[in-house]
A and B are shown apart, each in its own frame.
Chain A
Amino acid sequence: MFKILKTRLQQGYRTSAYPAQAPVLPDRFRGRPVLDASKCVEECRACVEACPTDAIARTATGPRLDLGRCLFCTDCTQACPEEAIRFTQDHRLAVRARQDLVMDGDTLRLARALDDSARRLFGRSLNLRQVSAGGCNACEADVNVLNTVVFDLGRFGVQFVASPRHADGLLITGPVTRNMQFALRKTYDAVPAPKIVLAVGACAISGGPFIDHPEVHNGADSVVPVDLYIPGCPPHPFTILDGLLRLLGRIHDQQSSSS
């Protein structure tokens, strides 16, 4: 018993002050990208060709990036001769609508909260059933750490439950493989209405690296309606936490940009 207490003292207090304080992230962390069309050279398609998931398109006004497909891999920034694309340290990435993830500058319309009636239902206590539908286990692992003392998801009234019957919604990872489509659909149907769905990670949003494989459906919203999209490969736990808190109306600023 003495050893347990001694170890407890040595371990110290580890819970982050988020959202009151911004998280400290490593300098090489890749958050929201910024596109500077003014630096683009005409006819240059280096970033488009380098992108492994075709997340970047070249439009008349400059590059356009689909954050839902982005793996945050830097293949584009390394390919760009003009440094027209760079990744910032901003971890805030969650949005409510799929089209909000398509960006052509540096702004991102961050997720707004659920409407009043839904917030009355879920705002203080939200039970989620997690379904891994072809995820590589990186998204799953960084969802799991929300339960550690660092993030302490329980203090926001959010917890993961074992049965869809006990859940208010689903948190889906993975591109939804053909072999998981039926199980995902049945799990969704088993959650009592009203229910919400969160798609976490590039795979769950668009198929990620596996986009257009015959063995996968391209993301969760090809099977069930999605209320919150959290991009990343995998998203940082703070990105996931930020998305959840925005949905529940605990964080209010709704535009993320460097300007």
Chain B
Amino acid sequence: MNSASWLSVHNSEAAPLDALPVLSQVEFRQEVLSEIDAGARLAAFFGVPQPDETCRLILVLADDRSGSLALTSIEAHESYPALTPDCPQAHWFEREIAEQWNIRPEGHPWLKPIRFQAASRPGQTIWPETNTADILPSVTTFFQVRGAEVHEVAVGPVHAGVIEPGHFRFQCHGEHVFHLEIALGYQHRGIENALVGGPHKRTIHYMETLAGDTSVGHATAYCQAIEALADSQVSARAQALRGIALELERLANHTGDLGALAGDVGYLPTASYCGRLRGDFLNMTALLCGSRFGRGFLRPGGVGFEVESERVAQLLTRLDSTINHVAGAVNLLWETPSIRARFDDIGALTKETCRDLGLVGPAARACGLARDVRHSLPSGIFRDVQLPVSTCETGDVFARAYVRWLEIRRSAAFVSKQLKELPAGPSRSDVGPLLPRHVVAALTEGWRGEICHVALTDEQGRFFAYKVVDPSFHNWMGLAMALRNQQISDFPLCNKSFNLSYCGHDL
């Protein structure tokens, strides 16, 4: 790595904004592509407005080998040469930059909106479909397949279940799916724009509702960003409690997902038990803070609630009983041949596809990639406690389910150990004002995968830009690719095995 071209930092380490290099467009492209070739991956790539109405594009690389992050940037006015043709994982980011800032990534092979939001920067819209800034959801060109007996199945935005909205189009020949195209943006609530000028009294509540089932994950990344920018320390006790809440969130969601997968193949015992057991984990989180989703538990400087020894004892008892029940319910899945027949070889992704698309979380680990922020770029309690990375090799529905089961056992063991060894001391400390003109990238391993928050402060120490990358942002394309050459009837199974967030993507 050419150190003049990159600002190298650790996870959740603030650096002066002036230390962030600004490269020429040619140099930028060469540098990024060579680092990606060497094994780094895109954690974030986004636009930041400048006072002269140009835009600065900031790119954050995560390097799992060295355990560090590297940031760099370019100035862009109207356009820049797209990374996507040589680096497919930039595909979604570059569409977002085009949409938000009216900047054209020249040579992008599939340029179209992703959230159907109006650009935040004046100028001629770059979408051929519309001449106004007021673009309508899913009004765009869709991938098309033509030929005898080829047909298209369109679903959504309102889906059949109790689930968030998105629009899916399957290009099929009978039951055989050639391609699935996914159009999102229905949940776009304008959160990133609302964060500018903060932190203010709504900020933490935005963080807890970026993706409601990941309230703890996103709040953790936010708190880490704030604490780095305020140069403040968090007590060992608070770090342990945050880790416990994060792993409880993972336990609840992974258990729910295994139940949902069982339900989708019509195996009702596990579906029924896991649906209830997921609630038991949520109720453990509610024991900590009153909210089943962990609302109010994480606050900059520590945690919002003290956890007394009786509460710890009760949590331990409940955890012990619940994890035994989960083991009973989930092991039925692996021992039932008809389940294995439906999970094996369905929606398989190769390791290469996974690497090219930059997938994260259980979806990546199921393809044999050991990507886990808790392991390679640890922060908080995970700097002291190493969790083994749970991987599988086959990249199919079975692998994505089995990785979850491995993680359930490891998370439960972690929570149990941390509760038993909870350090004494204060659980919250004051956080001072934020450093002016600084930048920080904070990564957390949420239950869906890597959560990345990047905050930039102005001269007054207020956010002038705040970028959120939910793991779903990396992974939606993975679901589309997993459906290729599958049957339409495999879609629910593939979808549940990824279980991606719509609101976390749409923001």
Contact = CB atoms under 8 A, between A and B. Distances in A.
Q: Are both chains from one complex? A: yes
Interface of A: 3-4, 7-8, 10-11, 14, 25-30, 49-53, 71-75, 129-145, 147-150, 160, 162-164, 174-175, 177-180, 182-183, 187, 208-210, 213-216, 233-234, 236
A179 B162 contact: no
B140 interface: no
A143 B215 CA distance: 17
B212 A138 contact: yes
A14 to B, nearest CB: 5
Interface string B208-221: 01111101000000
Contacts of B325: 10-11
A29 B286 contact: yes
Q: Which 4 pairs between the two chains have the least Cβ-Cβ distance?
A: A138-B212, A28-B290, A136-B212, A215-B190
A146 to B, nearest CB: 9
A22 B426 CA distance: 36
A11 B503 contact: no
A27 B295 CA distance: 15
Interface string B324-338: 010011001001000
A67 B185 CA distance: 29
16 contacts: A7-B269, A7-B328, A11-B328, A51-B201, A74-B296, A74-B304, A134-B189, A136-B212, A136-B503, A147-B275, A148-B279, A174-B187, A177-B186, A209-B206, A210-B190, A234-B293
Contacts of A7: 269, 273, 328-329, 332
B205 A71 contact: yes
Contact of A180 (B157, B191, B206): B157
Contacts of A10: 325, 328
Nearest to A184: B158
B162 A183 contact: no
B162 A144 contact: yes
Nearest to B203: A52
A31 to B, nearest CB: 10
B157 A209 contact: no
B305 interface: yes
Contacts of A174: 187
A25 B137 CA distance: 41
Contacts of A208: 209
A162 B501 CA distance: 20
B15 interface: no
B205 A209 contact: yes
Interface residues of B, number: 59
Interface string B144-181: 00000000000001101111110000000000000000
Given A138-B212, A148-B275, A162-B161, A213 B194 contact: yes
Contacts of B188: 134, 177-179, 215
Q: In this complex, which of A49, A215, A233 has the most chain B Cβ atoms within 10 angstroms of its Cβ?
A: A215
A179 B137 contact: yes
A136 B188 CA distance: 10
Contacts of A144: 162
Contacts of B305: 28
A50 B162 CA distance: 34
A161 to B, nearest CB: 9
Contacts of A143: 162
Contacts of B290: 26-30
Interface in B327-354: 328-329, 332, 335
A166 to B, nearest CB: 11
A183 to B, nearest CB: 5
A131 B187 CA distance: 12
A183 B287 CA distance: 38
From A28, A30, A71, A149, name the one whose CB has the most chain B CB atoms within 10 angstroms: A28
Nearest to A170: B158
Given A3-B332, A182-B137, 10 more contacts: A8-B269, A29-B290, A52-B201, A53-B205, A145-B278, A162-B160, A178-B188, A180-B186, A215-B189, A233-B209
B190 A213 contact: yes
Nearest to A207: B189
Nearest to B201: A52
B276 interface: yes
Contacts of A49: 201
B212 A137 contact: yes
Contact of A52 (B161, B205, B503): B205
